[in-house]
Structure formats: C-alpha cells, structure tokens
Amino acid sequence: MGKQSVTIKDVARKAHFSTATVSRVINHDPKVSRETKAAVEAAMKEMGYRVNTIARSLRSSTTHTVAILSPEFRNDFFMAVAEGIEEELRTEGYTTFILNSRESIEEEKARISLMVEKQVDGAIIIPAGDRGEHYSMLVQEGIPFVLVDRIVEGMQADAVLSDNINGAYQAVDLAIRDGAQRIGCIGGDQKLTSARERYTGYERALRMHGIKVDQRIIAFSDMHADSGYRIMGELLEADPELRYVFAVNLFLHLGAEKYLLEHSIGNLIRFIAFDEALMNIVLSHDYITVRQPLEEIGKTAAMQLLQRIRSTEESPPRICRLQPEIISSGFSK
C-alpha cells in the first residue's frame, strides 16, 4: 500500500549523480552529456520514477493546469465546448479541470476562490449570470481568463462566442430565399444576450427582404421546451396560415415540434432554429438549423488563454465571434 514514491534523490543516488543533474535530464537541459543523460534515464526507467508535479509546482509556481467553470455538467453545448478546450490544452501540455457553478453566482464565486487556491495558470468561464465583479479576484491574482458563450455586461475581458446575429440572419435569409414570406418567431428570453442577438438577426433578415416585422407572430418567454410548446399554439392561433417558424434555441424548437406532433399537424411547419442536437434522430421532416461551432469555440478560447498565459505583456481584451454553419435539410439550397 501507499508505496513510497521514487524521488529524484533516489535516482541520483542510483545513477551516481547529483539531484541537479537528474533534474536537468528530466527537463531536457541541453548541457548534460550524452552518457550522463543515458545513465540517468536508465536509472529512472529502472526505478519507475515519476516527477512529483506538486513539488515542481511549488518551486516554479506554475501548475500547467487550467480550470473550466461551467454552469452545468448536463448540458451538451457546454460539454462540447469543454471537449474542444480540453483537446487543445492537452496537446499543449496542460491539464484541464472542470468545475460546476450550478447556475449560481454564489457558487461561481466559491469555485473561483478554489481556482485561486489551486493556483491554476488560467481559467475559461461560461458565465452563470450577467454579473462578473467577482472575476476581479482572478485579475488581482494575475490569473488570465477567457469568457465563453456569454458576455458579461461591463466586463473588460477576453471572450469567444458565436456570431449569433449573423447565424440567425443567414438561416432566416435562406428560408426566405426558399420562398418563405411570413416567418413566426419564438424569441426566448430577451434578457440573455444570445437570445437578443438571434432575434436581431431574424429581424434584420426580414427587413433586408422588405418583409414587415409582424408582432402578432412573434413571442418571447424563457428558453424551455414548455414555452416552445405553448407559444407554437399561440402563433398558430394568431395565424393559422403560418408555415415557417424561427426558434432561438433547441428546447423551444423541440417544444414546438411536440405541439405539432400532439395536434397531428404533421409537416405543416418548417422550422428555422438554433442548435441541432438530436435533430437527425428525432425529426423526419425538413428543417434549417444554425450549427454553432462549439468545439471550435472551445479551441479558440483555449488558444487565446494560452497566449495570455505565455505573454507577460498586457494587451486590450479581445472578443472573438465565430461564424456558425447553416444546416438545411430538404430546403432548396
């Protein structure tokens, strides 16, 4: 049990060199002779040596560790981003850590405190809310961080997110080119920047084509499936001739689909929506979805963070918006 670990000292003794030399071998210092290097490496292998990263971190005050702070674990979008981050950082020799803020600012604060204690080299945060004063803790400690997916008002910080306006614009534009004239909108929670931006894109596309924005077939709510279901009913009541609907997220879309299913309205409505998880499994009819480059967002955030970690120079915050892709199944183009 709890077998004593082999230390640099043990290796040094065995190889008849000093610990300094062993350390140099470990760190590929060019000024150790071939023979010495070989001898030390042999000893290390034989004894099954492993660096003690804790000792190393204490000395060098760098952990090669980055924390991801996510409001939820059970969320495919966030996890896709997390996978992208992890993949990018791993190839650069960093270890990634995921923490859960459970959609609470308080918890977020606690987790950030933990990061500071664990002395991460950097952090990538999917904000739990629209307030971010507590991120200053990181600033004070000199820990760089990048926001993802959401922007926090009045916060000067790096951020990476989808170009929501343009994604919505492109998707709605495509539908119009396909012949849509009247397009309803399930607009979600306009307190969220993402929903607001998507709605903006929708409106802009209508305007560009000279289609008037008709409030009777536009409704806002929260972002859940129930609301999608309910609003779908309301929109159809307002305009039974409606044939196209734009939904700002997956759950609103699924809720709306369910309404149609339950009311046996079948393939009457064509949807334009954000996100596409499960679409190919669940739906049998045509749709347009805006696919966010989630892993790409993660990778970009990771790269941006690495730059901050590596360069000592200050530079102004950068906000990077990645272009989503428009997926159309069955529409003309």
Question: Which residues would be at the binding site for DNA (CB under 7 A)?
Answer: 4-5, 7-9, 16-21, 23-24, 26-27, 30-33, 35-36, 49-52, 55-56, 58-61
50 binds a second copy (CB under 8 A): yes
Among the residue ranges 115-123, 171-179, 207-215, 232-240, the one whose residues contact a second copy (CB under 8 A): 115-123
Minimum distance, C-beta of residue 56 to a second copy, in the bound complex (Å): 9
- Chosen residue from 30, 34, 314, 316 binding a second copy by CB under 8 A: 314
Q: How far apart (Å, rounded) are the C-alpha atoms in residues 185 and 165? A: 14
Q: How far apart (Å, rounded) are the C-alpha atoms in residues 316 and 157? A: 8
Nearer to DNA, 16 or 209 (CB): 16
Minimum distance, C-beta of residue 18 to DNA, in the bound complex (Å): 3
Nearer to a second copy, 100 or 304 (CB): 100
290 contact, one of a second copy, DNA, none, CB 5-8 Å limit per kind = none
Nearer to DNA, 58 or 261 (CB): 58
Nearer to a second copy, 83 or 234 (CB): 83
Minimum distance, C-beta of residue 89 to DNA, in the bound complex (Å): 19
E strand segments, 170-324: 183-186, 218-219, 244-247, 270-274, 287-291, 319-322
Tell the residue number behind the tokens 């959401």, with chain if given: 150
Nearer to a second copy, 36 or 75 (CB): 75
98 contact, one of DNA, a second copy, none, CB 5-8 Å limit per kind = a second copy
232 binds a second copy (CB under 8 A): no
74 contact, one of a second copy, DNA, none, CB 5-8 Å limit per kind = a second copy
310 binds a second copy (CB under 8 A): no
| Nearest of 191, 202, 135 to residue 165 by alpha carbon | 202
220 binds a second copy (CB under 8 A): no
DSSP string, 189-208: -TTSHHHHHHHHHHHHHHHH
Q: How far apart (Å, rounded) are the C-alpha atoms in residues 51 and 300? A: 30
Minimum distance, C-beta of residue 53 to DNA, in the bound complex (Å): 8
The answer to whether 248 and 274 are in contact (CB under 8 A) is yes
Q: How far apart (Å, rounded) are the C-alpha atoms in residues 147 and 66? A: 13
Q: How many CA atoms lie within 13 A of 91 on its CB side?
A: 8
DSSP string, 78-111: HHHHHHHHHHHHHHTT-EEEEEE-TT-HHHHHHH
Nearer to DNA, 17 or 94 (CB): 17
What CA–CA distances, in Å, run from 100 to 106, 109, 166, 316?
12, 11, 30, 28
